[in-house]
Structure 1
Amino acid sequence: MMSQNSCTSKEKLLQRIYEVSFAVDDILLFLDTHPCCQEALSFYREYSSERQKLMKEYARHYGPLTIDDALETDTNSWRWMEQPFPWEQEGECR
């Protein structure tokens, strides 16, 4: 198991995506019961925007995590199935 200090840029970016995605999912649940809460709406907008930016950055450098970002790569081809998925250990599952 890797220590926090030995994480690669890819792992750090993926961890940030997980954190921001959790916050977005959590605030969506809150908004289901508090739809007029302006503070929650503002939080959602901020974190949703950050998530989109992080997802596009990840896709540009490492390949898309979702089909929505499949065209955000640095190539002019369809690369969706060419990279290992995040849960696969590179070189071991393919």
Structure 2
Amino acid sequence: MNERNMLLSRIKKYDFTLKELNLYLDTHPNCRRALAMFRKYKELRSDAVEEFTKRFGPITPEQVSDTQRWTWVEDPWPWERR
């Protein structure tokens, strides 16, 4: 697996973890341990997304930073990537 796919896989794992913690916190809102874990994984995901964006470009259209031109459509679509 190349570096791009490894980093994207890590982001997906963080997304899954955050979703599960979100569901748990919905029913256990006073659990400090779960809340601390949520904050930790939120930060890890944010750092991983920032690294991915710097190295490989945006993951979502909201991350496009070019103010002169809409560059989102210039990258290959997910099904065009190898």
TM-score (norm 2): 0.84
Counterpart residue identity of residue 90, structure 1: R
Counterpart for residue 25 of structure 1: 19
Counterpart for residue 63 of structure 1: 57
Residue 90 of structure 1: how far off its partner (Å) = 2.6
Assess if the C-alpha contact under 8 Å between 1:59 and 1:70 holds in 2.
no
Counterpart residue identity of residue 80, structure 2: Q
Counterpart for residue 38 of structure 1: 32
Task: Select the structure with the greater relative contact order (CA < 8 A; seq sep ≥ 6).
Answer: 2
Gaps of at least 5 residues in structure 1 are 1-6
SS at match of 1:81: helix
Counterpart for residue 90 of structure 1: 81
Assess if the C-alpha contact under 8 Å between 1:27 and 1:40 holds in 2.
yes
Would you tell me which structure has more helix in proportion to its own residues?
2
Question: Counterparts of 1:5-20 in structure 2 under 5 Å?
Answer: 7-20=1-14
Q: Would you say how many aligned residue pairs link Structure 1 and Structure 2? A: 81
TM-score (norm 1): 0.74
Displaced runs of 4+ in structure 1, greater than 4 A?
A: none
